[in-house]
Structure 1
Amino acid sequence: MAAISLTSLLISLPQQWQLICAVSLLLLTWSWWSSREGRLIKLPPGPSTLPLLGNLHQLGPLPHRALRDLARVHGPVMRLRLGRSPAVVLSSAATAWEALRGHDLDCCTRPVSAGTRRLTYDLKNVAFAPYGAYWREARKLLTLELLSARRVRAAWSARRDQVERLASTLRRAEGKPVALDEHVLRLSDEIIGTVAFGSIYGGDRFAQQNKSFQDAIDDVMEMLAGAGSSAEDLQLPRVMGRHVDRFTGFAARRERIFRQLDAFFETVIEQHLLDHHPNKRAENGGDLVDVLIDLWKNPRGAFTFTKDHVKAIIFSTFVAGIDTNAATILWAMSELVRNPRVLNKVQAEFRAAVGGGRQVQPDDMAKLSYLRMVVKETLRLHPPAPLLLPRETMRGIQVGGYDVPAKTRIYVNAWAIGRDPANWPDGPEEFNPDRFEATEVDLKGEHPILMPFGTGRRICPGMAMAMATVEFTLATLLFGFQWALPEGMVADDVSMEEQGSLICHRSTPLVLVPTLYRHGLDE
């Protein structure tokens, strides 16, 4: 009778109140079920949540910092709700290693969002694709055709040309303050664009398309960083989420970005088809687009490749490479100008190893051991993706003695691990590359305390290409120029504030004064 009376009461209410009551009942049911689940298994501790939002309101503009602070209260294995999506944040080297290596196969897929699904042509790229047969084939292709040691060596010509172009710009600006950010971002974009698309990327006929494409990539990074911006991603009922995204304009913005990217990819593919020569790839291997078009036009094996696959893999190449390389170079230069002792030491190594009167060459890079320490230290303090890319458990696992159910997002706070006194007892917040002189810790995903590229099956496949670009650019900048702060500034005036959540950039431009190094005269 009570149930019948309650039903009659609800029916008698105005329609809007019926909706409010229905949503409230759903939230109460979900809350009861969540608490019941927690009693049945040993879930990690975590902060309290709000209805619908979960813990999104606690992330702030710099989630890696907010999550480090929360982990100090709740522990290195911390449970969150992002909207209604369950998540676990790992903030210690031991727990991250246990999950990413000990349970690699159990949590090597990616969570799917409305934004990534649309922007990656229904998850046909590499970075955001779920784990499975397609991802394995696509990653193998990307690794062999763009990111292998052979391709890294083949990219030296493009890399050298673009770095020399930057050096020429700096020589013309000698003695004047220069905002490095714009130049370094353009350098990173041009290197990846030339390697992926060939010489057409830097041509005049593509200038306007390049600008639109770069603007769209910036929008993509902002959208991907905005966890929970989409109502669909908050896991509201699907129809409700879509209506909310339309009302807020999120869906229209996502579609606009997608169409900008798609138009650029269409132009690039059409140009490659016009310029296609059967012997081109046989002679020099072609660029990435040549390889992808060949797979599309000449299918082989059971793997079906379409034009959308071509576009999705191109998208993955740019999203993974441009911002991360540029951010690392700029953070390294920021730390060096704030630490004259380190700057002088790394420049002395260059000049002793390379000699005066000539440019840095690819063969010189193996001699620059202290430069590699500088890059390691930069990535320790400033990993370009502070929370790495999230994984998702495919089945239940245990981490740090806690149960982590299937379909839980796994975030690794690489930024917190890099500053953890338990891992770095000697001044963890200080920039000191010398700490790597007596250790074999490297960046290749084999050491839990330093994993800026991740580890296991989902380790970043572009690591070799990224390191080659970052190290060669820094070598050229530091070998060919002396660097000073603008007049009236001292080291402590260099802002180290961050912005962004997916890729972490400097919040203000890095303005420095380059002076051409005249070998033999400036000793």
Structure 2
Amino acid sequence: MELSTISLLFLILPLISLLILAPSHSRRGGGSRAETYRKRRPPGPWGLPFIGSIHHLLTSQPQAALRELAKKHGPVMYLRLGQVDTVVVSSPEAAQEVLRANDINFASRPSLLAADIICYGNLDIAFSPYGDYRRALRKLCTLELLSARKVKQFAGIRDRETMSLVAEVQAAAAAAGGQPVNLGGLLISCTNSITGLATFGHFCSGARTKRFLSAMNEALKYSSGFCVSDLFPSMWFLDVVTGTRYQLRRAHRQLDQVFDEIIAEGEARARRRNAQGEDRDREGEHDLLSVLLWIRDEGDSELPITTINIKAIIVDMFMAGTETTSSAAEWVMSELIKNPDKMAKAQAEVRQAFDNKNPLDHESNVHHLHYLSMVIKETMRLYGLYPPIPLLLPRLCRETCDVGGFEVARGSRVIVNAWAMARSPEYWSDDSEEFNPERFEKSVLDYKGTQFEYLPFGSGRRMCPGSGFGLATLELILARLLYYFDWSLPAGMQPLELDMDMTVGSTARRSNQLHLVASPYGKVTAKS
């Protein structure tokens, strides 16, 4: 929740306090049942009337505030956030209970206003409630949309667009005349292009691409954080008064209009192919929109795909495949420029692997870049980039159960503080706050979500299904940036002076985009 919203709540507290619901213990029933719940409920910080424990989180770094609270109250902690019971899990043992032992019980999501509006009534991948639809959607992603085969089919797109990024960096560096270039902005443009082409193919180009991306940016802007009604369900009207609901609906309408145009073109293309007697099969359609339209029209899937479903799925594809990947690449470059010895080691590895190689072979060689892989793993440990927020997307407790010896009541929201676990000295030694890729030299930790002190893609039934797509893009972007350029800070700036402030919203991104000086490596150019 934004600070301005919090301030508004305090200003109108005298009015809305008249509408406060009955105390939570009275709603849970009387007598022994309520007493049992109070005895077994997880410990937590003190709360204020009406707002509960929100005041503990009035910071730009809520994940850090929750870590400090967990040090006092334990790894399974209760907070009353407005009118919502919330349990925060901050240890691998407790996370394992939530994400594995009780995975089905915590496999659903709470309904949040922004997701409900932008994602077509939570028909998307990330926020769809657990059930038959969600299971079928996960199967669709695994077998059709984000499979290893499908990720491989997009290799040509990754190759072209990352080489375009190299050319754009070269042009920007030449124009800057030794001054810094906005690397963060160029990374966003690159990942937008890769995701757009993978999702829409040639259906989305030129002015329409700009309109779609503009609408997506608006959707992301107003989807950041919580709306008032997310924490105060009975105060839903405040989102009307503040204009939040209107802004979300306007962003949704803009997005929907462009969707209709793109889908109409895809349908027209399919009709032309049918009229010409051309075969239409999903193997011949590489872009995700064409695959989804094929599945919708054939009707042979256990998931009844409609146009609305297609729109919701594609919204997730863009949210998970653009700003998340560009943010990850920006954090990696930030850490490397702060640590020149690590930068030199990563560049030496890439240049040894790529020198005298055809650029078309770069992606096939990326998998041999062991040190770059460690750099990426370490960056994800520090910043928790997939999903792109340090606190994994909230889960909803479907039935009352125990976690860590405490009772988690049905309807509670559960947050896993993956950021706290990934920086805990107990699991990562005394240098847990430091950037040290070498810690992964002999580590067996991977991205599969089976070791709960390291959850860059989450775990269980709700873990990120797009890890393969995201990693393939991220690895090639970084490898080519390190191969084609030497990087330095603006004149006079020391590594420790680099701004590393983080903004936690829809992504854990840099507060200010990264600007670095780019110098072409030797005689190598983007045409080599």
TM-score scaled to structure 1, two decimals? 0.89
Change (3 A) 1:83 1:220: farther
Counterpart of 2:259 (choices 244, 262, 265) is: 265
Question: Which residue identity is paired with 1:97?
Answer: Q
Supply the distance in 2 between the matched residues of 1:282 and 1:111 (Cα, whole angstroms).
34
Instruction: Report if the CA contact (8 A) 2:17-2:50 is conserved.
Output: no
Counterpart of 1:407 (choices 404, 411, 419) is: 411
- What residue number does 1:315 align with? 315
Change (3 A) 1:256 1:382: same
Shift of 1:301: 5.4
CA displacement, residues 292-350 of structure 1 (integer Å, 9 cap, x when unaligned)? 11222232355422110111111111112212111110000000000011111111111
CA displacement, residues 424-457 of structure 1 (integer Å, 9 cap, x when unaligned)? 0041011010011121111221211110110111
Supply the distance in 1 between the matched residues of 2:16 and 2:288 (Cα, whole angstroms).
53
CA displacement, residues 351-409 of structure 1 (integer Å, 9 cap, x when unaligned)? 22222464361210121111110000000001122001111111122111111111111
- What residue number does 2:242 align with? 248
Instruction: Report if the CA contact (8 A) 2:222-2:244 is conserved.
Output: no
- What residue number does 2:268 align with? 274
Q: Is the partner of 1:423 in helix, strand or coil?
A: helix
Shift of 1:283: 6.0
- What residue number does 1:147 align with? 146
Aligned positions of 1:176-187 closer than 5 A: 176-187=179-190
Change (3 A) 1:180 1:144: same
Change (3 A) 1:225 1:350: same
- What residue number does 2:340 align with? 340
Supply the distance in 1 between the matched residues of 2:415 and 2:350 (Cα, whole angstroms).
38
Task: Give yes or no for the alignment of 1:487 onto 2:491.
Answer: yes
- 349-358 vs 74-83, greater mean Cα deviation: 349-358
Instruction: Report if the CA contact (8 A) 1:61-1:501 is conserved.
Output: no
- What residue number does 1:123 align with? 122
Q: Is the partner of 1:483 in helix, strand or coil?
A: strand
Supply the distance in 2 between the matched residues of 1:504 and 1:448 (Cα, whole angstroms).
20
Shift of 1:267: 1.4
Aligned positions of 1:12-161 closer than 5 A: 23=19, 26-27=21-22, 29-30=23-24, 32-33=26-27, 39-41=35-37, 42-59=40-57, 60-161=59-160
Change (3 A) 1:502 1:39: farther
Supply the distance in 1 between the matched residues of 2:16 and 2:439 (Cα, whole angstroms).
59
Supply the distance in 2 between the matched residues of 1:65 and 1:219 (Cα, whole angstroms).
28
TM-score scaled to structure 2, two decimals? 0.88
Supply the distance in 1 between the matched residues of 2:16 and 2:82 (Cα, whole angstroms).
18
Task: Give yes or no for the alignment of 1:291 onto 2:288.
Answer: no
Q: Is the partner of 1:422 in helix, strand or coil?
A: helix
| Structure 2 gap segments, 5+ residues each | 1-14
Question: Which residue identity is paired with 1:352?
Answer: Q
Shift of 1:519: 6.2
Question: Which residue identity is paired with 1:191?
Answer: I
Supply the distance in 1 between the matched residues of 2:133 and 2:392 (Cα, whole angstroms).
22
Supply the distance in 1 between the matched residues of 2:302 and 2:376 (Cα, whole angstroms).
42
Counterpart of 1:446 (choices 446, 450, 469) is: 450
- What residue number does 2:4 align with? none
Instruction: Report if the CA contact (8 A) 1:387-1:502 is conserved.
Output: no
Instruction: Report if the CA contact (8 A) 2:98-2:403 is conserved.
Output: yes
Shift of 1:47: 1.3
Question: Which residue identity is paired with 2:408?
Answer: V
Supply the distance in 2 between the matched residues of 1:20 and 1:136 (Cα, whole angstroms).
40
Counterpart of 1:387 (choices 363, 387, 391) is: 391
- What residue number does 1:198 align with? 201
Larger Rg: 1
Supply the distance in 2 between the matched residues of 1:264 and 1:323 (Cα, whole angstroms).
20
Supply the distance in 1 between the matched residues of 2:282 and 2:74 (Cα, whole angstroms).
55
Change (3 A) 1:313 1:186: same
Instruction: Report if the CA contact (8 A) 1:99-1:399 is conserved.
Output: yes
Aligned positions of 1:345-364 closer than 5 A: 345-356=345-356, 358-359=358-359, 361-364=362-365
CA displacement, residues 106-138 of structure 1 (integer Å, 9 cap, x when unaligned)? 111111123322222122111100111001111
Q: What is the aligned-residue RMSD (CA, Å)?
A: 2.3
Shift of 1:505: 0.4
What percentage of residue pairs aligned between the two structures are identical?
37
Change (3 A) 1:200 1:22: closer
Supply the distance in 2 between the matched residues of 1:512 and 1:401 (Cα, whole angstroms).
50
Question: Which residue identity is paired with 2:231?
Answer: L
- What residue number does 2:474 align with? 470
Aligned positions of 1:202-221 closer than 5 A: 203-204=205-206, 207=207, 209-221=208-220
- What residue number does 1:366 align with? 367
Q: Is the partner of 1:509 in helix, strand or coil?
A: coil
Q: Is the partner of 1:219 in helix, strand or coil?
A: helix
Instruction: Report if the CA contact (8 A) 2:295-2:301 is conserved.
Output: no
Supply the distance in 1 between the matched residues of 2:50 and 2:260 (Cα, whole angstroms).
39
Supply the distance in 2 between the matched residues of 1:475 and 1:349 (Cα, whole angstroms).
9
**Matched residue pairs, number?**
493
Supply the distance in 1 between the matched residues of 2:496 and 2:371 (Cα, whole angstroms).
24
Shift of 1:242: 4.0
Instruction: Report if the CA contact (8 A) 2:157-2:194 is conserved.
Output: yes
